[in-house]
């Protein structure tokens, strides 16, 4: 349990402060840690901003490399999930 809390805190710090690229964090983070981190408004805002500024193909690539986080992101950002699903369905 302390390992999971520490990992989530690291994800919150990395994404919330902008010190690390979001794709790099998402590639290395587990679904549980991301789910905990998305409880932070700063993390949710930065990920939403990244998702809004990135191309659908790049986002799809990140999600394919770590499919466990796809469900977490879709649940946390349902409006974006529907947009991404439409944008990547033809690729």
pLDDT score of 56 more than 80: yes
How many CA atoms does the CB half-sphere of 21 hold within 13 Å?
A: 5
Model's pTM, two decimal places?
A: 0.67
User: What pLDDT sits at residue 90?
Assistant: 43
Q: Are 48 and 62 in contact (CB under 8 A)?
A: no
The alpha carbon dihedral of 36, 22, 49, 72 has a sign of: negative
Please give the share of the chain, as a percent, with pLDDT higher than 90.
0
Average pLDDT of the chain, as a whole number:
74
C-alpha–C-alpha distance, residues 19 and 35, integer Å: 20
Q: How confident is the model at residue 11 (pLDDT cuts 50, 70, 90)?
A: low
pLDDT score of 25 more than 80: no
């Amino acid at each position: 349990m302390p390992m999971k809390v520490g990992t989530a805190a690291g994800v919150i710090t990395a994404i919330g402060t902008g010190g690390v690229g979001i794709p790099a964090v998402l590639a290395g983070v587990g679904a549980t840690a991301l789910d905990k981190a998305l409880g932070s408004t700063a993390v949710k805002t930065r990920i939403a901003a990244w998702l809004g500024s990135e191309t659908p193909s790049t986002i799809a690539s990140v999600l394919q490399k770590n499919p466990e986080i796809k469900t977490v992101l879709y649940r946390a950002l349902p409006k974006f999930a529907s947009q991404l699903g439409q944008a990547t369905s033809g690729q």
